[in-house]
Amino acid sequence: MSPNEALARALIPDCSLEHISSEPERGVSAEAAAPATVLAKDAQAESAMAAASETSVAPRLVPVVPRLPALRSRHALLVVDVQQEYWSLNAQIRGEFPEFAPNIARLLELARRDPDCVVVHIRAVYDDGARSRMIPQFVALNPNKMARVDGIQNPEPFAAALPNEMVIAKPVWDAFHDTALHEYLTEMGVSHVLVCGLVTSACVQHTAHGAFCRGYGVTLVEDCCADRTRQQHDMCFALYTGYMWDAVKLRDLQQQFDAVCACTATGDCCTSTIHYDCPQLGDRLSAPTQPHGCIAAQTLRA
């Protein structure tokens, strides 16, 4: 250990040697700088102080750069159960969340502009068959609620799937249970999902939980979800935001989607700066990091 290292160790006991310069003193070989014996801590510190006073070279501490989570280049928007049974035919939900339909339409518009976003439509198809074994019990507990539905036949026009977008029929509340959703997302290279839709405290929550249990990063778009009451919606977010998922507002996503990348005149492009990819990083994602094949960069290259 060189005198510089010993001094730094004495002054900063918790400082790891890997963050301290191991350069020997000027004019001193690496072999000569190594101690011949192991000294006691106090004696070692005194020796280091004395050695440092005889040289003009100050200890150099290398700044520790925190390890940041890798940016996710592929993400998915899961649009859960936006179908007539839970919107057009449900005056209670429409009355509680009048902003839901235009918000969903806007979110879909934004997601479709992002070349790294995979849009997946989830539709509830509940019947009395073996796949929806919950139906008899659900009917017994909720005799006044609609139980048997077919979202494939009754989608909402404002959330209709485009020909190139996947539609998944789910037999229970969790869209990952007994479906090909996980396999499809894996095939598409997705590691983070945005979840929105109907209803917050049932299928949205259960689908988010299914994604969480399978290792996906999960973000819910709060004002693109709706429930039978505002209280149920708010309680669900209060319980699980920061515990199982992150939550964002549509306006926050819009700002991020509108600045998906910043391209230079040469066609180089920074990594996507979408907040939900790494919410703990915040604005630091705006710094260029790695190549990103966005539409703007492709246009410049053309």
Q: What is the DSSP string of 56-121?
A: SPPP-BPP-PPPPPPPPS-EEEEEE--BGGGTTT-HHHHHH-TTHHHHHHHHHHHHHH-TTEEEEE
Across 229-252, average pLDDT: 94
Band of pLDDT at residue 136, cut at 50, 70 and 90: confident
pLDDT of residue 151: 66
Comparing 295 with 197, which gets the higher pLDDT?
197
Please give the mean pLDDT across all residues of the chain.
72
pLDDT of residue 187: 96
Q: Is 129 helix (H, G, I), strand (E, B) or coil?
A: coil
**pLDDT over threshold 70, residue 47:** no
Phi, psi of 137 (to 5 degrees): -70, -40
Share of the chain above pLDDT 70, in %: 59
Tell me which residue of 111, 240, 120, 135 sits closest to 168, measured CA to CA. 120
pLDDT of residue 274: 37
Across 12-22, average pLDDT: 39
CATH of domain 75-255: 3.40.50.850
pLDDT of residue 20: 35
Read off the tokens for 11: 């002054």
pLDDT of residue 143: 76
Share of the chain above pLDDT 90, in %: 45
pLDDT of residue 227: 97
Question: What does the chain come to in residues?
Answer: 302
| Segments of the chain assigned to CATH 3.40.50.850 | 75-255
Across 252-275, average pLDDT: 52
**pLDDT over threshold 70, residue 118:** yes
Across 264-270, average pLDDT: 41
State pTM to two decimals: 0.63
